[in-house]
Copies of this chain bind each other. A is one copy, B any other.
Amino acid sequence: MTDTRQHILATGRALVARRGYTGVGLSELLREAGVPKGSFYHFFKSKEAFGCALLDSFVEGYAEDLAATLDAPGLNGRARLMAYFEGWRTRQSGEAYEARCLVVKLSAEVAELSPGMTEVLARGVSSITARLASVIREGAADGSLPAHDDASALAVTLYQIWLGASLMGALSRDTIPYDSAMAATAALIDRKGPTA
């Protein structure tokens, strides 16, 4: 069955979102998934290959969610952008580990560990910031946002703010950093002139 593979990935995602990549052992993962250890190496050639597959499926799923939020019909560009960040805050400060962003959780850990996983994350990040930049341009076109002369740079800055807020939120275990990020986001997108 190929959905044994899917099941391992889904179980792994929640586990890795909580304990990190190095922190999750095969034994724990497979016990949790109810899958015998032998099967694992049938579906993945190594733990790192599993990690890459996990991130691939995360990035893919994220892109779909992103499309659903940022292409929501009937909302102007600004509202769609703010909805995205509201969603970020909700997921990242909620209880559900499987909803947490793996870029936040794994970037630092994986950067020196696995070039393959790093690459998948890096591609995911740049596609997110690219999509954010185009929504900023759409907001300028529909009049909901001022014209920003470098939408890409603004998108990167916003994404950096939210990554940083997520790190701080993990440390403080409250939503204050996200509230701060939300305020900064609103201030940045609504004001004219060179921002980044």
Which residues from chain A sit less than 8 Å from chain B, CB to CB?
18-20, 22-23, 103-109, 111-113, 118, 121-122, 125, 153, 156-157, 159-165, 167-168, 170-173, 177, 180-181, 183-184, 187-188, 191, 193-196
**How close is A168's CB to chain B, nearest CB, in angstroms?**
6
Taken together as a complex, chains A and B put the C-alpha atoms of A19 and B22 apart, in Å, by 10
Which residues of B sit under 8 angstroms from A196, Cβ to Cβ?
A: 180, 183-184, 187
Q: Which among A109, A172, A183 has the greatest number of chain B C-beta atoms within 10 A?
A: A109
Pick from B20, B104, B122, B180: contact of A22, CB under 8 Å: B20
Knowing that A23-B113, A107-B170, A111-B171 touch, tell me 18 more A-B residue pairs with CB under 8 angstroms: A18-B112, A22-B22, A103-B167, A104-B167, A106-B108, A108-B170, A111-B173, A125-B171, A153-B184, A160-B161, A160-B180, A160-B184, A163-B163, A163-B167, A164-B164, A164-B165, A180-B196, A187-B194
CA distance in complex: A159, B164 (Å): 7
Residue of B nearest to A185 (CB): B196
Note all chain B residues with C-beta closer than 8 A to A18. 112
Q: In the complex, what residue of chain B is closest to A195 when comparing beta carbons? A: B187
Least Cβ–Cβ distance between A57 and chain B, in angstroms: 18
Alpha-carbon separation in the docked complex, A20 to B195 (Å): 34
Q: Which residues of B contact A172 (CB under 8 A)?
A: 122
> Which B residues are CB-close (under 8 A) to A164?
159-165, 167
